[in-house]
Copies of this chain bind each other. A is one copy, B any other.
Amino acid sequence: MAIDFWFAIGSTYTYFPVMRLDAVEAQTGIRFNWRPFNLRRVLVSMNSVPYADKPAKLAYMWRDIERRAKGFGLTVSMPPPYMIDDLVRANRIALLGLKEGWGKAYIRASYRRCFAEGQDAGAEPNFSESLREAGQNPKEALTRADAPEIAEALERDTDEAFSLGLFGAPNFVVGKEIFWGHDRLDDAIAWHRQAS
């Protein structure tokens, strides 16, 4: 059984598992199944604004991410773009890429450009440059990502996220057990081991 890694490009703390999960997979032998969803639809339905209208909490989040990135040896240029443009499109590209086998490379490139280079993950040039980095022809991949069936697949996956009880990102789901936040990755791994 894999651990389902439910995430959305646009979630700030998702930076950490995106950059770390391949190494965790190698160390633990546990497979992570990457599942993008439309987090914005979930937050809007909950009338939830986690940070954008809360200056003290927002300032803390950036400081916390900066401190923790240092601990993980990850580069951050503070603050990265936030409340970024077309997140749904970024997550459609991610979903397409995961179906076609280049998704993780795209998602990592997208996050690295956003967090280390200040490039909005929901706009050009991030879309095209991250696609190129993942070995894709940007124009062709964007045409496929903009097709109705990909939009519909992302919304179906988002329905599944709702039915699981997800309300934020990132999440690690083991069976029906939700572990929310990168901070719960170790707990999810322990749960998976005990359940396997």
Give me the interface of A with B, judged by CB distance under 8 Å. 46-48, 53-54, 56-57, 59-60, 63-64, 67-68, 165-168, 178, 180, 183-184, 187
Contacts and interface: CB of A to CB of B under 8 A. Distances in A.
A123 to B, nearest CB: 29
Contact of A54 (B46, B59, B60, B67): B46
Contacts of A56: 46, 165-167
A11 B47 CA distance: 22
A193 to B, nearest CB: 14
11 contacts: A46-B54, A46-B56, A47-B53, A48-B57, A54-B167, A56-B166, A56-B167, A57-B168, A60-B165, A68-B187, A183-B183
Identical copies in the complex: 2
A167 B63 contact: no
A9 to B, nearest CB: 21
Given A64-B180, A67-B187, A183-B183, A48 B59 contact: no
Given A56-B166, A60-B165, 13 more contacts: A46-B54, A46-B57, A48-B54, A54-B167, A56-B167, A57-B168, A60-B167, A60-B178, A63-B178, A64-B180, A64-B184, A67-B187, A183-B183
A143 B67 CA distance: 45
